[in-house]
Amino acid sequence: MESVRWLLKQMAPHFPLILISLLGSLLQSAGASAITLMVKRVVDDVFIIRDYESLVKTVLLIFGAAVLMQTGFFVGKYFIVLASEKTLLKIREGIFTKLLKVPYSFFVRHPSGDIISRVVSDVDKVKQILTENLPNLLINTVVFLGLLGVLFYRDYLLTILMILALPVMGLMVRYFGRKKGKHTRRTQEGMGNLTQVLSQTLGGVENIKVFSAENRVIRSFREFNRRIFRASVKSEFYITANTALNYTFGYFVVSLVFFYGGYRITAGDMTPGDFISYLTALFLIQPPILAVQKSLMAIRGNIPILSRIRSLLSLEEEVQGTVPFSGLSSSIIFKKAGVKIDDRQILTDIDLEIKKGEKIGIVGHTGSGKSTLVKIIPRLIDYTGSVLLDGVELKDYEISSLRSGIGLSTQENFLINATIKENVLIARPTASDREITKALELACCDFVWELEDGIETIVGERGYALSGGERQRLALARVFLKNPQIIILDEPTSALDLNTEKRVIRNLYEYFSERTILFVAHRISNIMDCDRIIVMKDGRIVEEGTFYTLIERRGEFYRIFQEGGVI
C-alpha cells in the first residue's frame, strides 16, 4: 500500500478541494437518506390512509431531497476530479522534467518504447485511479454510510446480519484485485514493447520496404500484440467474474431480506411503510457498495502501475558540480579514463591531452569508441579515471555552465516540428535575425532561401520535410550560432555531398580558428588539416600524430587510409 500512500501524498496540496468534495458527498448522502426515510410516509400515510395533504408535502420533500442529492453529487464529483487533475498535471510535469535530468546512460539502457509507455499509458492508468476510482470511492463511501444509518434506524438486527456478509466481499476484492494487478502489469509491459516496435518500424519504414522485411516485422508485432491480448483478456475476466459474483451475492442477500421482512409484516411486528423504506435504502445502498468494491479492486489492481511511475520519478539525476565553467583557458586532459556500460567495457585507459585551440581529428572503425570518447566532455556519459578541464575535474563543474560552453553536432540530428528559425534558435534563443542568417550561411543552408516560406518553413516531425543533408546543415547552423568554446563534431557531414562538405568544413575551421575542435570523421579527408589525429581501436588510443606522420608509420591509420579513407 506504499504506492497508494504516495499517491495520496501527491494529492495533499489540494486538500481544500477534497474537503469541498467531501461536503458535497455529505449532501448527496443526506438527500439519499431523506428519500428512503420519506418512503414510509408515502406507503403508510398516502397508500394506506390516503391522506392528500400528506401526499403533497411528501412529494415536495422527496423532490427537494432529490435536488439536494444531485447538487451534492455535482459538488462531490467535480471538486475531487479537479484535485485529481491538478495532481496529474504535477505528475506529468515531474516525469518529463525527471527524464531531462537523468543521466544519458539511462536512455542507453532503457528502450524508448518502455519510456514512452510509462509516460503515456501508465499515466493514463493513474488518471483512471484519480478521476474515476478515487472519486467513486470517496462519494460512494459517504453515501453508503448515510444509507447504512437508515438501515440501522429501521431494523438494526437485520442490518447487523447483513454486515456480517461484508468480509465475503472483502475477500473477493483481495483475490480478484491481486489477479487483475498481475495481468495489468503484464499488459503495460507488453504495451512498452509494442510501442518500441512501432517506433522502430515508423523510423525505419524505408529500409523495411527495401529489404522486404515486412513479414518479419509483422511477426514481431503480432507476438507482442498477442501477449497484450492474453494479459488484457485475463484481466477483464477477473473484473467481469468479480462483478457477476458481487451481484449474485447481493441478490441472495436481498432474497433473505424479502423473506425476513415478509415474515415480520405478517407477524405484525413491522408496517409495510417500514419495510418498503428499508427495501428502498437497501436497493439504494447496493450501487455504492458495488462501486466502492469495484474502485478498491481497480486501485489494488493498478498498484503495480503506481510502482512503475514512482520508480521513474525516483531515478537519480545527473550529479551536479559546483564550479562554474567560464571557458577553456589551457587544456583538456584524460588520465586513465574509461567507460563501462553494464558489463561492457567501451573505453579503457585513455590518456590524452588537448590544448586550447587545437583541432583534433578522431578516427577508427565502427565500435572503436570514438563517439563515446567525445561524449565524456559534455558529461553525457559517466567515466572512471580522471578528466581535467583547466586542472579541474570534469565532474566538479556545474553541468549547465559546462554545456553552455560546448557545441555538439552529430549525424543524428534533433529537430522539432517547428520552423527553421525556431529550430536554429534552440542554440541561442536571444539571437537576432541577422545572426541567424549568418549562421545559416556558414552552415551552407542555401536551400532555406529557395523555400517558399524561407526560415519560417515548418520542417515537420523530426525534420522529415527536409533531406538528411539539409537536416545536418541546420544542426551545424546551431553550432555556428552558439559560438561555443569547445566544438564536438561527431560525423556531422555524413549525409552531405563532397562539395558541400568541403565548404562546411572550411567554414568550421576558419570561423572557429581559435576554438578547440574535436572532429570524429567518417572520411579521413575531413581531418587532414587537423593539428593531430587520434586513432582508436577496441576502446583504446593506438596511434596519435599528424596526417603525414601517421601515414609514414604505416600502422592502423595507414590501413584505414588504404581501405579508402572512409570509416
Q: How many CA atoms lie within 13 A of 220 on its CB side?
A: 14
Instruction: Tell whether 392 and 337 lie within a shared domain.
Output: yes
Residue 223 forms part of a structural domain: no
Residue 325 forms part of a structural domain: no
Instruction: Tell whether 389 and 530 lie within a shared domain.
Output: yes
Domain holding 101: CATH number? 1.20.1560.10
* Of 61 and 334, the one with more pLDDT: 334
Instruction: Tell whether 274 and 339 lie within a shared domain.
Output: no
User: Which of 280, 313, 346 is a domain's end point?
Assistant: 313
Instruction: Report pTM.
Output: 0.67
Q: What are phi and psi of 386, to 5 degrees?
A: -140, 140
pLDDT digits (tens, 9 = 90+) for 430-445: 999 999 999 999 999 9
pLDDT digits (tens, 9 = 90+) for 122-140: 888 888 888 888 888 888 8
Domain span at residue 410 reads 331-562
Q: Is the pLDDT of residue 374 over 90?
A: yes
CA dihedral for 43, 47, 52, 56, sign (positive or negative): positive
Residue pair 194/225 in contact by the 8 Å Cβ criterion:
yes
- pLDDT at position 520 is 93
Residue pair 270/264 in contact by the 8 Å Cβ criterion:
yes
pLDDT digits (tens, 9 = 90+) for 221-269: 777 788 778 777 877 787 777 777 777 776 777 677 777 767 776 777 7
- pLDDT at position 336 is 95
Q: How many residues does the chain have?
A: 567
Tell me what the mean pLDDT of segment 100-104 comes to. 84
Instruction: Tell whether 394 and 258 lie within a shared domain.
Output: no
Residue pair 60/47 in contact by the 8 Å Cβ criterion:
no
Instruction: Tell whether 446 and 519 lie within a shared domain.
Output: yes
pLDDT digits (tens, 9 = 90+) for 315-372: 888 888 899 998 899 999 999 999 988 788 999 999 999 999 999 999 998 889 999 9
Instruction: Tell whether 258 and 384 lie within a shared domain.
Output: no
The residues facing 520 across adjacent strands are: 362, 490
Q: What's at 327, amino acid-wise?
A: G
Residue 197 forms part of a structural domain: no
Residue 218 forms part of a structural domain: no
Domain holding 534: CATH number? 3.40.50.300
Residue 45 forms part of a structural domain: yes
Burial degree of 288 (CB within 10 A; 0-12, 13-18, 19+): buried
DSSP state letter for 44: I
Q: Is the pLDDT of residue 142 over 90?
A: no
- pLDDT at position 46 is 56
Instruction: Tell whether 288 and 401 lie within a shared domain.
Output: no
Instruction: Tell whether 277 and 354 lie within a shared domain.
Output: no
Per-chain mean pLDDT for the chain? 83
In the three-class reduction of DSSP (H, G, I as helix; E, B as strand; rest coil), residue 267 is classed as coil
Residue 322 forms part of a structural domain: no
User: Which of 283, 313, 343 is a domain's end point?
Assistant: 313
Instruction: Tell whether 399 and 257 lie within a shared domain.
Output: no
Instruction: Tell whether 88 and 175 lie within a shared domain.
Output: yes
Q: Is the pLDDT of residue 394 over 60?
A: yes
Give Cα 393 distance to the centre of its chain: 33
Q: What's at 497, amino acid-wise?
A: D
User: Which of 282, 313, 344 is a domain's end point?
Assistant: 313
Tell me what the mean pLDDT of segment 189-215 comes to. 67
Q: Is the pLDDT of residue 381 over 80?
A: yes
Residue 248 forms part of a structural domain: yes
Tell me what the mean pLDDT of segment 269-281 comes to. 73
The residues facing 334 across adjacent strands are: 352, 387
Instruction: Tell whether 309 and 338 lie within a shared domain.
Output: no
Residue pair 411/350 in contact by the 8 Å Cβ criterion:
no
Instruction: Tell whether 418 and 544 lie within a shared domain.
Output: yes
Residue 189 forms part of a structural domain: no
In the three-class reduction of DSSP (H, G, I as helix; E, B as strand; rest coil), residue 258 is classed as helix
Tell me what the mean pLDDT of segment 46-67 comes to. 73
In percent, the amount of the chain with pLDDT more than 90 equals 29
Dmax over CA atoms of the chain, in Å, equals 119
d(CA 462, CA 470): 12
Q: Considering its fold, how many domains does the chain have in total?
A: 2
